[in-house]
Amino acid sequence: MNSANGFFVHSQAICESEDIGRDTRIWAFAHILPGARLGSECNVCDHVFIENDVQIGHRVTLKCGVQLWDGITIEDDVFIGPNATFTNDPFPRSKVYPQEFARTVIRKGASLGANCTVLPGLTIGTNAMVGAGAVVTRSVPANAIVVGNPAKIVGYVDARPVCHEQITAAGKVAAQTETMVKGVTLHTMNKFADLRGSLSVGNFGHAIPFKPVRYFMVYDVPTEEIRGEHAHRVCHQFLVAVKGLVHVVADDGIHRQEFILDKPTQGVYLPAMTWGIQYRYSPDAILMVFASHHYDATDYIRDYDEFRILTECAGNGRP
Amino acid sequence: MNSANGFFVHSQAICESEDIGRDTRIWAFAHILPGARLGSECNVCDHVFIENDVQIGHRVTLKCGVQLWDGITIEDDVFIGPNATFTNDPFPRSKVYPQEFARTVIRKGASLGANCTVLPGLTIGTNAMVGAGAVVTRSVPANAIVVGNPAKIVGYVDARPVCHEQITAAGKVAAQTETMVKGVTLHTMNKFADLRGSLSVGNFGHAIPFKPVRYFMVYDVPTEEIRGEHAHRVCHQFLVAVKGLVHVVADDGIHRQEFILDKPTQGVYLPAMTWGIQYRYSPDAILMVFASHHYDATDYIRDYDEFRILTECAGNGRP
Amino acid sequence: MNSANGFFVHSQAICESEDIGRDTRIWAFAHILPGARLGSECNVCDHVFIENDVQIGHRVTLKCGVQLWDGITIEDDVFIGPNATFTNDPFPRSKVYPQEFARTVIRKGASLGANCTVLPGLTIGTNAMVGAGAVVTRSVPANAIVVGNPAKIVGYVDARPVCHEQITAAGKVAAQTETMVKGVTLHTMNKFADLRGSLSVGNFGHAIPFKPVRYFMVYDVPTEEIRGEHAHRVCHQFLVAVKGLVHVVADDGIHRQEFILDKPTQGVYLPAMTWGIQYRYSPDAILMVFASHHYDATDYIRDYDEFRILTECAGNGRP
Amino acid sequence: MNSANGFFVHSQAICESEDIGRDTRIWAFAHILPGARLGSECNVCDHVFIENDVQIGHRVTLKCGVQLWDGITIEDDVFIGPNATFTNDPFPRSKVYPQEFARTVIRKGASLGANCTVLPGLTIGTNAMVGAGAVVTRSVPANAIVVGNPAKIVGYVDARPVCHEQITAAGKVAAQTETMVKGVTLHTMNKFADLRGSLSVGNFGHAIPFKPVRYFMVYDVPTEEIRGEHAHRVCHQFLVAVKGLVHVVADDGIHRQEFILDKPTQGVYLPAMTWGIQYRYSPDAILMVFASHHYDATDYIRDYDEFRILTECAGNGRP
Amino acid sequence: MNSANGFFVHSQAICESEDIGRDTRIWAFAHILPGARLGSECNVCDHVFIENDVQIGHRVTLKCGVQLWDGITIEDDVFIGPNATFTNDPFPRSKVYPQEFARTVIRKGASLGANCTVLPGLTIGTNAMVGAGAVVTRSVPANAIVVGNPAKIVGYVDARPVCHEQITAAGKVAAQTETMVKGVTLHTMNKFADLRGSLSVGNFGHAIPFKPVRYFMVYDVPTEEIRGEHAHRVCHQFLVAVKGLVHVVADDGIHRQEFILDKPTQGVYLPAMTWGIQYRYSPDAILMVFASHHYDATDYIRDYDEFRILTECAGNGRP
Amino acid sequence: MNSANGFFVHSQAICESEDIGRDTRIWAFAHILPGARLGSECNVCDHVFIENDVQIGHRVTLKCGVQLWDGITIEDDVFIGPNATFTNDPFPRSKVYPQEFARTVIRKGASLGANCTVLPGLTIGTNAMVGAGAVVTRSVPANAIVVGNPAKIVGYVDARPVCHEQITAAGKVAAQTETMVKGVTLHTMNKFADLRGSLSVGNFGHAIPFKPVRYFMVYDVPTEEIRGEHAHRVCHQFLVAVKGLVHVVADDGIHRQEFILDKPTQGVYLPAMTWGIQYRYSPDAILMVFASHHYDATDYIRDYDEFRILTECAGNGRP
């Protein structure tokens, strides 16, 4: 039952499209409508249904029970788990959710867990992971891991969160500590406490490795919010959680690491060309950021894929 | 492959029933058992399974991967999203959930989102909406919108919640304000505040447009509870959230509006023949209700469809 | 050493005034300036000092170490404890406290505890009691008991606070209960509670013994505030603490009783010609008051001494 | 369409395996790969898919839309609801969840609700119940009932939680009360309360029916945590919630009962050979446990099935 | 101006009593009534007034402005600061405070600070100290230090509170630590903490230096309360603050020390014949006490002076 | 009764000192020991007692019932209210309070309210005010107003606290606002708020009018604590309450003003030679301070009188 066109269709499957790539396999009880386009080396399992206005890249796996509706794009190397469900409209026939009727896009390398649900018009970012059973109601950034109903970010791929203490040598509080991410350092400021209260001091140019031209404070952040998700071309920053707790993800394009800031005497330094994310703010968190340059909109890189290309060109993180 | 009986069955589908309405279409890999009854203009998508004791109205859509078990009734104009799942028993072989083994009924115009789950014996009310991925463990009232696991009411169809201030003209606090719902008015009571505390006054027959014969207070309401969901034939009422916050939905059979009561100086007047709902009680909420008549069980209309018919006969909301 | 004028002066005392009543005694090391006027049967103990512009009634006791400055009036039957201290200015030479430079007046029957301090220009009301060591910074109403620094009202003379339950027969919740105060009754409203919350009902003309023409709510009252301190000539009222806890003092001119309202199902009825006080509001307290008449400024009696005279004329509380 | 081998295959189904038990039925559009092994009297509904390395016991029901992947074992008498979804990897292609790549095992008598999701490598214990729509991220102990996303234990089969007061005779506080579980007793310790505070006394060897050799306190337990889930061969224990609230399940192999400990004056005695579970800790809960023996790792029975066999041999709970 | 009777009276003073001890001095403007009895070596400063029914021991100092009323007893070696004020009745002419009309007694060695106020009928215990400006409304135990309005115990004479850590050698957590009080030891229990919570173990006979026959828990103690204030003849005890914070004072008759218990892993051992006090409970404090003997009313010594005599006889704390 | 030495002594007073200034008057029953030294134009009222080692300036008033012990210095223009009480030792014969046995000093222009109590060894600063009945347990800074038991600072003389908004023009939020204090400016930083949280920006050298060399944070300050109370010779500072609320008093030697910092977007700039005080910290307050210079102990002026002299020399605040 080898197709003449280089792809395989099970005898009990119905494939009405001719636009199927080499070595793609279509299994029993699957049904593909004529307009659908599939790349090469895909695997379409039993009981899958694919409508017409659907574009699928190379090396995509569609496990059993998945349906792809008009208006869905799947990029290369995506995995869609069994019974993962896409939607045309979260509340059919209504306009409850605000998103406009854009295409649903699953970016390169993303994985969707078994039995998850994806609302219409969302984008699942590059390499992002959707947990089994998650109900995705907002677009998912690159590398993010989401779980739950509604789905929330619980981490980033390949970045296990570490406390300050876990990274410094046991029993030794260093003023400055290297991390796995190029140029990113953790810092401990002096603290003086007496009956009148506590006092923490940081000298610019010393404990904080540059002289800032401005500060900004971030506060009143809902716990489920993510901030950052960008890199700076020339600006460098120093972050202190003066109250509460914040998770900071730093990424040099090669390595990624997540730091938990939870003491007013701890800071993290982010050099230029570091992709930075802050999230998991505690309800009372206040994040103080010292910045080396004035605000400049052109200094921001907001697309992770562009950031990766720039760091590759710069040989970032390479010996 | 046009059926002789005026409905369409795909060649790869199995339709064992003859009781199928005109222009209904049954797609590939669907399977309908002999006892099932379907109305006209229905759409039964791929991989759907329908048992015997199932009744389906007209213009019903069943997206891919849906199964309908014995004991399910679907009224006209219902939409069932892909992989939406019905149950015979929430915990098979046990009696964990208290509901008796009644039929599952999906009322006219209701929509069930993709991959939602509906426990057995529940009723999804007229025009109600179940969000994608929701797990429905209690019956859903007419017009309600539910999401989450377990599913909770987050709003009512066509009734965006408004604050008192949003409805009154900007910068002007009117003593009495018309709403979109027939006869329902919002009221502002006088307030006197100084360092010794605050004092709010309402005169019966003036600010409160009738002389009550009784009051009742509602308090200690769990946040997830809905109260009201009924209309009165002759009794009219005046509601004040003396503490905390309550959402009040008022419906004249034609128009529906949701009011956020969050100040002890604000009241809402509900005339007779108004369908009223109170929900989203804050944990500390106390709702004071003044009523124009003594309690009379026969004054209550508890079925929304009956209420709609009565208001139509009365020409409610019509010019 | 009997004075020729019918009063006694110790040989070691200095009495420069001649305006001293019969049987008044002035003891060793006391010093009275020429302008002071004292009534009969007073007792002026050792080390007392009295300036010129001071008026003292009959049967007043001034214990050791007390000074009375220009601008102080002491009515009949007052007791001033040892080292109790009056002031010309709380912060001498400044204007920190707002009270104008009125006379300090200690009304009939009041008692000032040992070593208390009274700021200038205040009135200590009829029969009021100031605790030992108290620092009185605001005027004290009739019958009130104050202690602490700054002094706060902790009770009223002859009115021990009682809970609703203490006044009703043991194990029996009466719908209506007599109190010691003429015409004042305690009421229990019906309550219905289930998992969906609680509901308390009061019928006007039945459980609430009149048909109100208005309600008013009192809330956000600072704990140290006292409200009421007046009687109505014709208006009667019904009070319910719909949230939190309030102490209500009722006084018919003869008897006085203090009720603790702490349940939304409990009310107290105050007929016309009842002196009423509300205090010890818990921070979350909301007091709902139903009134039998519209607001009328001339209906208020705000002076306790006037109230006493009116109730005496009316034979209030008399057999 | 009766198979020659004693089992039934629908003409539209694909059954590539020969290892199918007697009286097992395989319905339309189901697909079974050659390596799968099924017991007798199973029911494989429409649209089911079964891979090769799958072992299925007797009397197993697989409702529509279920897929069973390589590495799954289903024991006898299991029910799998419609669209219930198993996973190869919760986040495909990653190692986010810590569990190793063990087989997924559904133990004897367990039931999985409609549209639930089960992460890979988990065990669903004997007779356990997974609610409809639940997302199971951790193994489920024997008899436990789980619901939600992520799934949490909300009870145990056949063990409705009871308060101490519900078990003692009405109006009578017994020092020691029998329960339905063999040898397990509830105890009330003496309490002395006055204005200076409260004091609770328990005498070892008397109110507490043995002399402990050690105590341990359990505190700071996250609400979702379960502790215990084991029996002791010789050690007996006495549990008191000295702060907050804890649910304790006791099981003698025949009877099971759940006790709510919510007063520091209440204790529960667990004799040796009692399967004990503690869960639903309130955030402030502190559980004090007195133990009759020193810690001994060999004293623990951690497998419920082994516990059942041992109690059966001992004739536990038998007349 | 030397008195013939061996005591001194200033020429401007009035001394009507003859019952004055040797070397007692009475200064200007003081006034002593005939019935008063004073011991030897007393110092009665300017402007003091002493009534008839007053008994004063030896070496008592009465600073300026003090009055002693009928019904007051002052034992030896007492110091009364300037303007310290005694009362006949806290609210003259009423019965507001509950104490009966007992004598006011100031025990041996006690000191009353300047301008303090002492309500009637109270006892100030041996060596107790009343702070300047304090208003004493309850009797003060032996050795206690009180300040404020109303006065509260803030410490005990010669017993500065220490934390567990301050008493153990720096950087070294000893299982058992000696204290300054005879036989009293501090103990550290093992703690095991993981993601499921924390667990603290104490072995009786090992970490806790005896095998208890009972435990009792003390909880819901208002912050201002004092417990203990007694010694045991044979019973010994082990105290652990399993929640919150408690101050424990231990006294062997010679040495006194105050310990702050604030961790569930810390305990204090009190042998027999130790005077023990617990106070400054935090609002959430729970004190667990293990006792070596069953309750026996005759085992208690509740009078500190008796305790001192017994320990002296026993040579307690002597080499 | 005019003294030959130019001062007046009442015939019933005892004045043993000759060192009394011109026009000073000493009234009845007062007693002054030989070593005391009084300035001119003082007023010593009835029943005052003054020991030997006492120094009193000019124009001092001592109201009735005051005693001055050895070791007290009263500067010019001081007012001591009636029965105000000084102490030799707060707890006579002990060492409970930590202050060493320094002289008690009442600085120029200070006023002590009636019946207040002052513990030994304290200094009451220039122009400070002690409220009636206050119990002063710590030294009072210049210009401070204290009340209560124990006495706490509630304000500063001639400095009513103002909010940021009260000082800026109505309806207009200026980036920088002049104040009444020389060189001190209030600043509003930009704020950007959206659903993801709020962000506040301050540029060094712009909104913050200098480039700091360090920051320090002050937090965990007990509400009753006062910080600052000093000026800097060259260092200037910028203060922001990033959390909670702080009162800041600024004083240029001529004018004084108190600012309430309660928003993270508000800052106050203190130039060099500004006397600064921070107090009334809310429990959650965190004060961020940017400083223009590194820490230098010699930069601090800690004595207010020295500060006044230096600013006068500099012509501070003069036209």
At B318 the pLDDT is: 41
ipTM of the complex as predicted: 0.82
Q: Provide the shortest C-alpha distance from residue F145 to chain C (in Å).
A: 9
Q: Give me the pLDDT at residue A1, please.
A: 42
Is residue E267 within 8 A of residue E201, CB to CB? The reply is no
Instruction: Specify the range with the lowest mean pLDDT, choosing from C85-99, C280-294, F217-231.
Output: C85-99
The pLDDT of residue F66? 97
- Touch C-A: 3+ C-beta pairs under 8 A: no
Q: Give C10's pLDDT tier (boundaries 50, 70, 90).
A: very high
**Best CATH choice for the domain B161-315 from the list 3.40.190.10, 2.60.120.10, 3.30.450.40, 3.30.470.10:** 2.60.120.10
Give F158 to chain E, closest Cα distance, Å: 28
B284: chain C residues, CB-CB within 8 Å: 243, 284
Residue C131 with chain E: CB contacts under 8 Å: 90-91, 96
pLDDT digits (tens, 9 = 90+) for C174-227: 578 888 899 999 998 888 877 677 888 888 888 888 989 888 888 888 877 778
pLDDT at C63 over 60: yes
What SS3 string covers chain C?
Answer: CECCCCCEECCCCEECCCCECCCCEECCCCEECCCCEECCCCEECCCCEECCCEEECCCCEECCCCEECCCEEECCCCEECCCCEECCCCCCCCCCCCCCCCCEEECCCCEECCCCEECCCCEECCCCEECCCCEECCCECCCEEEECCCCEEEEECCECEEEHHHHCCCCCCCCEEECCCCCCEEEECEEEEECCEEEEEEEECCCECCCCCEEEEEECCCCCCCEEEEEECCCCEEEEEEECCEEEEEECCCCEEEEEECCCCEEEEECCCCEEEEECCCCCCEEEEEECCCCCHHHEECCHHHHHHHHHHCCCCCC
Question: Which chains are adjacent to chain D, needing at least 3 Cβ pairs under 8 Å?
Answer: A, B, E
Q: pLDDT for A232-242, tens place per residue?
A: 999 999 998 88
Query: pLDDT (tens digit, 9 = 90+) per residue, F16-52?
Result: 999 999 999 999 999 999 999 999 999 999 999 999 9
pLDDT at F75: 97
Chain B residues close to D155, C-beta within 8 Å = 96
Q: Please tell me which of B14-23, B256-265, D89-98 the model is most confident about, judged by mean pLDDT.
A: B14-23
Chains D and F touch (3+ CB pairs under 8 A): no
Lowest mean per-residue pLDDT among A144-153, E30-39, E192-201, E251-260: E192-201
CA pair distance A278, A265, nearest whole angstrom: 18
**Statement: residue A98 has pLDDT above 70:** no
pLDDT at residue E196 in the model = 56
Q: Which residue in the block uniquely carries the two structure tokens 């496990």? A: A63
In the set F230, F232, F236, F293, the catalytic residue is F230
Q: What was the pLDDT predicted at B99?
A: 44
pLDDT of residue A312: 82
Q: Which residues of E touch C (CB under 8 A)?
A: 14, 29, 31, 47, 49, 65, 67, 83, 85-87, 90-94, 96, 115, 117, 119, 135, 149-150
- Would you state the pLDDT for residue B1? 42
pLDDT tens digits, one per residue of E153-200: 888 987 777 776 666 544 455 578 888 899 999 998 777 765 556 777
> How high does pLDDT run on average in chain D?
86
pLDDT exceeds cutoff 70 at B65 = yes
The per-residue pLDDT for A170 is 44
Shortest Cα–Cα distance, E291 to chain D (Å): 10
**pLDDT number for residue C95:** 45
Could you give the percent of chain D with pLDDT greater than 90?
55
- Give E305→chain F minimum CA distance, Å: 21
- Asked whether residue F174 carries a pLDDT value surpassing 80, the answer given is no
- Percent of chain E scoring above 90 in pLDDT: 53
Contacts of A64 in chain B (CB under 8 A): none
* SS3 letters across chain F: CECCCCCEECCCCEECCCCECCCCEECCCCEECCCCEECCCCEECCCCEECCCEEECCCCEECCCCEECCCEEECCCCEECCCCEECCCCCCCCCCCCCCCCCEEECCCCEECCCCEECCCCEECCCCEECCCCEECCCECCCEEEECCCCEEEEECCECEEEHHHHCCCCCCCCEEECCCCCCEEEECEEEEECCEEEEEEEECCCECCCCCEEEEEECCCCCCCEEEEEECCCCEEEEEEECCEEEEEECCCCEEEEEECCCCEEEEECCCCEEEEECCCCCCEEEEEECCCCCHHHEECCHHHHHHHHHHCCCCCC
User: What average pLDDT score do residues D244-272 get?
Assistant: 91
Instruction: Among C197, C286, C295, select the one facing B242 at the smallest CB separation.
Output: C286
In this complex, do A81 and D67 lie within 8 Å of one another by their Cβ atoms? no
pLDDT at A97 (0 to 100)? 44
Chains that touch E (3 or more CB pairs under 8 A): C, D, F
Encode pLDDT of E58-109 as tens digits.
Answer: 999 999 999 999 999 999 999 999 999 999 765 554 444 444 568 999 999 9
Q: Catalytic: A236?
A: no
Higher pLDDT, D282 or A56: A56
Neighbours, chain F (3 or more CB pairs < 8 A) = A, C, E
Q: Which of A83, A87, A96 sits opposite B129 (nearest CB)?
A: A96
How many CB atoms lie under 10 A from the CB of residue D20?
25
The predicted-structure confidence for A7-33, as pLDDT tens digits, reads as follows: 999 999 999 999 999 999 999 999 999
pLDDT digit string, tens, across residues F121-139:
999 999 999 999 999 999 9
pLDDT of residue D89: 66
Other C-beta atoms closer than 10 Å to the C-beta of A140 total 24
Of C31, C47, C117, the CB nearest to F115: C117
* Mean residue pLDDT across chain A: 86
> What is the average per-residue pLDDT within D275-292?
88
Looking at beta carbons, which residues of chain F come within 8 Å of E79?
A: 92-93
- Give the pLDDT band (50/70/90) at residue B134: very high
pLDDT score of A93? 46
Taking CB atoms and an 8 Å limit, are D242 and E217 in contact across chains? yes
Q: Given an 8 Å threshold on Cβ–Cβ distance, is A213 in contact with F202?
A: no
Which ranges of E112-195 does DSSP label H, i.e. alpha helix?
164-167
Residue D195: is its pLDDT beyond 80?
no
